[in-house]
Amino acid sequence: MTDSTVFIATNDVAGLTRGRAVPDSEHDSVLRKGVGWVPADLALTCFGPISDNPFGSTGDLRLMPDTTTRIQIPAGHGRPGVHVYLADQTLPDGTPWECDPRTFAKNALDDLLAQHGLDVTASFEHEFMIDGLAPTAPFSFQRFREIEPFGSELVELLNRVGLQPETWLPEYGDNQFEITMAPSPGLVAADRAVLLKDLVRDLAIRHGRRATFAPLMDPDGSGNGVHIHVSLRDAETGEPVLYDASRPGSLSELGQRFAGGILRHARALTAITAPSPISFLRLTPHRWSAGGIFLAERNREALLRICPTTTVGGGHPAQQLNLEYRAADATANPYLALGSLIRAGIEGLNSTDEFPVVWPETVTEAELEGVPPLPADLDAALESLEQDAVVARWFAPDLLETHLAVKRAEQAAVAHLDPAGRCRRIADVY
């Protein structure tokens, strides 16, 4: 069985990978010319229908593949192979389209470099669940083996296509697993986050199973998060800039300002990073997701966690220190999520506001009682996004309008269901 198609892909506001395929005989041609696309495709909801949008039936775009993103999914288990390229959505003449999510991330990264001389290293840490497994204990070797040969094939596949898997493990929830990838330049990390989900789901189908990255399978069950790890380096020297052993949490003054921007705009950010009708069922205290808007050392209830470092094996803390944003899930578009975090960080770096508190690892729940809460639901998050003029101006008006419309349409589509029904409906999609 041979590779017969080339798929040119984009990731939309619903966080789903869509695109068009051409025969492999047109491989070279499509790399030069791209394929046609439609502005209103950005307004597709996760359930299928197109939401209200400013584009209507007019306008045309090109999906222009980025050759550095190419992966080849090999044939196997009765499925043919396919070449996949991630693409930028451009105008017909090839110039950037202001509503393209990947371009949004590129521009944010470019502005951080231009304004502050900083590069981003990032990694997206995904959790997901696979059906049809026998009950096993959390984190157990038994569960690790129960999923074989899927697990070994997944690690081999990710290595083969260049996604650099770092850890593969059974997680806490029922039938739950986690895969992490090695830190990489910001845009590469977002590209990998797009590809990973589809590689996992495709391989699961080959094994006669279904994988879901939905935030929750059950309102009372364990959730699937996407933790976004970000570190900053001086673009000229390549040296890390977040570490300062003399400061609280060993977080440098620059890092604290960057974090402060994220905290100040957190409520609006969650409308981008946790944008499904069930996302906020997971983002509540005592779920180890994000229990409040605060910055803390090694605390899994914090919106922003200062991750641990180690000197074991000759490790150097400065090379390891990173900020982990925890209020995200796989229903988000990775480019919009990362780009928004970078934009918020830039706002923090440009601000003269007071430094945010760095809560120590020993902080008690009583001491955190006054920290601001996350939005209670998606409606509140979307309202915060509309009302935060700073965040709103980061987006092209049509992109912001489309995001709001898509999310409200998705909310309306499941409004008649109880929480358990909404979870099942979202799980079927993601």
Rounded to an integer, what distance in angstroms lies between the CA atom of residue 328 and that of residue 223?
11
Protein fold of 5-92? Ubiquitin-like (UB roll) (3.10.20)
pLDDT digits (tens, 9 = 90+) for 182-235: 999 999 999 999 999 999 999 999 999 999 999 999 999 999 999 999 999 999
Which of the 8 DSSP states describes residue 370?
A: T
pLDDT at 4: 84
Give the total residue count for the chain.
430
Residue 3 pLDDT greater than 80, yes or no? no
Q: How confident is the model at residue 2 (pLDDT cuts 50, 70, 90)?
A: low
Q: Which amino acid is at 141?
A: F
How buried is 88 (Cβ within 10 angstroms: 0-12 exposed, 13-18 middle, 19+ buried)?
buried
pLDDT at 287: 86
**pTM reported for the whole predicted model:** 0.97
pLDDT at 289: 86
Q: Which amino acid is at 378?
A: L
pLDDT at 354: 87
Mean pLDDT, rounded, of the chain: 96
Architecture of domain 103-429: 2-Layer Sandwich (3.30)
Rounded to an integer, what distance in angstroms lies between the CA atom of residue 72 and that of residue 160?
9
pLDDT digits (tens, 9 = 90+) for 160-183: 999 999 999 999 999 999 999 999
Are the folds of 5-92 and 103-429 the same? no
Residue 227 bridge partners (DSSP): 125
Nearest to 126, CA basis, from 227, 231, 16, 210: 227
pLDDT digits (tens, 9 = 90+) for 271-319: 999 999 999 999 998 888 888 999 999 899 999 999 999 999 999 999 9
Rounded to an integer, what distance in angstroms lies between the CA atom of residue 362 and that of residue 76?
50
pLDDT digits (tens, 9 = 90+) for 11-28: 999 999 999 999 999 999
Residue 1 pLDDT greater than 80, yes or no? no
pLDDT digits (tens, 9 = 90+) for 108-129: 999 999 999 999 999 999 999 9
Structural domain boundaries in the chain: 5-92, 103-429
pLDDT at 288: 85
